[in-house]
Amino acid sequence: MKKGLQVLLSASLIIGLLAGCGSGAQTAPASSSAGGSSTASAGTKTIRIAAVDPQVPLDMQQNTYSIIMRLTDNVAESLISSQKDGSLAPLLLDQMPTLFEDKLTYSFTLKSVKFHDGTTLASSDVKYSLERLVKEEKMASLMAYVAGYDAMESGKATELSGIKVVDDTHFTITLSKPYSPFLSVLSTPYAAIYPKAACEAAGDTWGLKTLIGTGPFKLDSYTAGSGAEFSKFSDYHGGAPKIDKISYKFIEDPNTQVLEYQKGNVDFVDLDNSLYPVYSSNAALKDQIHSFQQAGGYYFNFNVKTIKDPKVREAISLAIDRKSICDSVLHGTASVPTSFIPASLTGHDSSAQAFAYDPAKAKSLLASAGYASGYNLRVTVNTKSNLGKSIATAFQQEAKAAGINVTVEPVDSAAWSDMKKNGGMDCSVSNWYVDYNDPDSMLYPVSDNRADLVSSFWHNAQFKQLMEDGVKTDDSAARQKIYVQAENILTRQDFAIAPLINETKFYLLNPKVTGFEINSDNRMDFSKADIG
């Protein structure tokens, strides 16, 4: 009796737990009911999104996290928008700006556009917003080529002298030197245009309690740790949106996010790469998985002060079995890069071969560099990046074949940032995605003519000159040649970095939602979205 009861209780416990374990991947989604309820219950069309809590003000001028961009993209707009194919189009402008013959001054004409508070967009708002970008400091150097930037940054001036308001709808921006990506820069979320009066009145509450823009949706509420609510802006200059509300629910755990999607409580979730194999084999969910390629990828960033010999850096690059990492760590969802500059950007070398895996050659290079008995390499990873940790761990095994002994050093975000700046890393698993669709945005983190060059400490005079030449000209053919050459120096001559993988990003979307897009800048557009 005693044993019988014990066995019965134990068995029921184990069966219960196993039932719980096994149900996750195979449970059919309840999204049909969810989609229906979100559309019809209160007569309003609401799209519900699971997202990570940004924890900070919803203002891309203060914080650069892409999770904030996802929230603010449909509230605040920039003068220019980048299209799915990477081209630029006027958004708050009548037409694309005119560049004067001096190649320095752009002339702008604003469309008749209303802010959410009912005020009309004016040139003074543009001047205020772009100057605020400098004052907020985080992404100030995006305005580095605008005349008067140095004076403002050093505190000698309170305005950017290069921005001149002509009247309420006309203004000019003069650069201090030619900078062909400038219009692309104006398409970034950092260059969002805010109403001056409302933004100044809100002070520190901007992005927390108040966020006013010209976008298709208005911020109704933002509750830290809980979520954010947006409602449609009926006076939107691009036509009133079809959906009434966007509701963000902050859920930290990627697993919980997907469970909420399966239950039908949200219509959109990002699908972590680690979860992709589970859900791509789920018959009920696999057709609801969508993907996109963000321009950028993962790479090894070498500190050339500690890994001085290019032969060693080349050997490390040759010791990476990128294909294996794509297949094992990323379950075949990533691709081996042929170039650091992605295919969608000018400067991508379509004739380049994929970065090779050749441990024998790596070993021989290390021997010629004086490391015949093996090389000890410390690879630092940010604990925030699960993928970074997995890549480093996979490489730790692969590198043994080339005689490289890898120590993986996980550090948290704060230490990561500090170590990068102070040269505390020898080699790190980094990732980079463009802020604007231009090769300049891809290469500037490794260019030492920018203030933020900190983690690689690499200098190559020819590369630097090419980077300067590349932004001076707007001739596409010339730029293509310049950036192909620059990248070749970076990745195949000096081996300052070693590209690793180009990942594919996945998300689950309720099939009832239509007209929704994520472009290669990772920007979500709900202006044309609808729920069937």
Partner 1 sequence: MVSYISKRIVQTAVVLLGISLVTFLLLQVVPGDPVSLMLDRRADPATIASVRHQLGLDVSLPQQYLNFVNGVIHMDLGNSYFTKEPVLFALNRAFHVTLKLASLSFVFAVVIGISCGMIAALYRGKALDSSLMTLSIVGVSAPSFWIAIILQIIFGLKLNLLPISGFDTPAAYILPSIALGTRYAGSIARITRTSMLDVIKQDYIRTARAKGAKRKAVIIHHAMKNAMIPIITLVGTELGNMLTGSMLIEKVFSIPGIGKLAVDSMSNRDLPLLEGTVMYIALVFVAVNLLVDISYAFIDPRIRYGKGAA
Residue ranges that bind partner 1, judged by CB under 8 A: 1-6, 9-10, 13, 16-17, 19-21, 23-24, 27, 30, 53, 55-57, 63-64, 137-142, 153-155, 204, 208, 224-226, 249-253, 255-256, 259-260, 262-263, 265, 384, 411-419, 421, 424, 445, 450-452
Which is nearer to partner 1, 8 or 372 (by Cβ)?
8
Q: Which amino acid, residue 370?
A: G
Q: Which is nearer to partner 1, 11 or 166 (CB)?
A: 11
**Least CB distance to partner 1 at residue 128 (A):** 20
Nearest to 530 by CA among 39, 32, 116, 31: 39
- The CA-based diameter of the chain, rounded to the nearest angstrom, is 97
**Whole-number Å distance between alpha carbons of 210 and 117:** 11
Q: Which of 431, 333, 325 is nearest to 385 (CA)?
A: 431
- Which H or E run contains 231? strand 227-232
Please identify, using beta-carbon distances, which residue of 90 and 445 lies nearer to partner 1.
445
Please name the residues in contact with 470: beta carbons below 8 A apart, sequence gap of 6 or more: 180, 347, 439, 440, 479, 482, 483, 486
Nearer to partner 1, 318 or 419 (CB): 419
- Strand 375-382 versus strand 427-433 pairing type: parallel
Residue 125, token pair as written in the block: 């708002």
User: Which is nearer to partner 1, 74 or 262 (by Cβ)?
Assistant: 262
Nearer to partner 1, 346 or 382 (CB): 382
Shortest spacing between CB 342 and partner 1, in angstroms = 19
Q: How far is the CB of 210 from partner 1 (least distance, A)?
A: 13
Adjacent-strand bridge partners of 107 = 98, 172
Q: Does residue 151 sit in helix, strand or coil?
A: helix
Residue 131 is which amino acid? E
Assess contact for 251 and 227: CB atoms under 8 A: no
Looking at beta carbons only, is 229 or 309 nearer to partner 1? Answer: 229
333, 276 contact by CB (below 8 A): yes
**Cβ proximity to partner 1, 1 vs 461, nearer residue:** 1
User: Least distance in Å: CB of 295 to partner 1?
Assistant: 17
Of residues 115 and 302, the one with the C-beta less far from partner 1: 302
Q: CB nearer to partner 1: give 29 or 216.
A: 29
Q: Least distance to partner 1 from the beta carbon of 78, Å?
A: 18
Taking the complex as a whole, the smallest distance from the CB of residue 25 to partner 1 amounts, in Å, to 10
Nearer to partner 1 by Cβ, of 171 and 299: the residue is 299
The type of residue at 381 is V
SS (H, E, C) 93-146: ECCCCEECCCCCEEEEEECCCECCCCCECCHHHHHHHHHHHHHHCCCHHHHCCE
In angstroms, give the least distance from the CB of 206 to partner 1.
10
Please count the other Cβ atoms lying within 10 Å of the Cβ belonging to residue 480. Answer: 17
* Nearest to partner 1 of 262, 339 (CB atom): 262
Number of H helices, E strands in the chain: 17, 22
Q: Which is nearer to partner 1, 255 or 462 (CB)?
A: 255
- In angstroms, give the least distance from the CB of 87 to partner 1: 26
SS3 call for 505: strand
Smallest separation (angstroms) from partner 1 to the CB of 497: 15
Query: From the CB of 452, what's the least distance to partner 1, in Å?
Result: 5
Spatial distance between the Cα atoms of 29 and 463, rounded to a whole number of angstroms: 52
Q: Which of 488, 456, 153 is nearest to 347 (CA)?
A: 488
SS3 of 378, please? strand
Q: How far is the CB of 57 from partner 1 (least distance, A)?
A: 7
Q: How far is the CB of 6 from partner 1 (least distance, A)?
A: 5
Instruction: Give me the long-range contacts of 447-456 (CB less than 8 A, separation at least 24).
Output: 450/141, 451/141, 452/141, 454/420, 454/421, 454/423, 455/301, 455/303, 455/420, 455/421, 455/423, 455/425, 455/428, 455/430, 456/301, 456/302, 456/303, 456/304, 456/496, 456/497
* Residue from 529, 470, 527, 490 nearest 73 by CA: 527
- For the bound state, the minimum distance from the C-beta of residue 255 to partner 1, rounded and expressed in Å, comes to 7
Centre a 10 Å sphere on the Cβ of residue 33 and count the other Cβ atoms it contains: 11
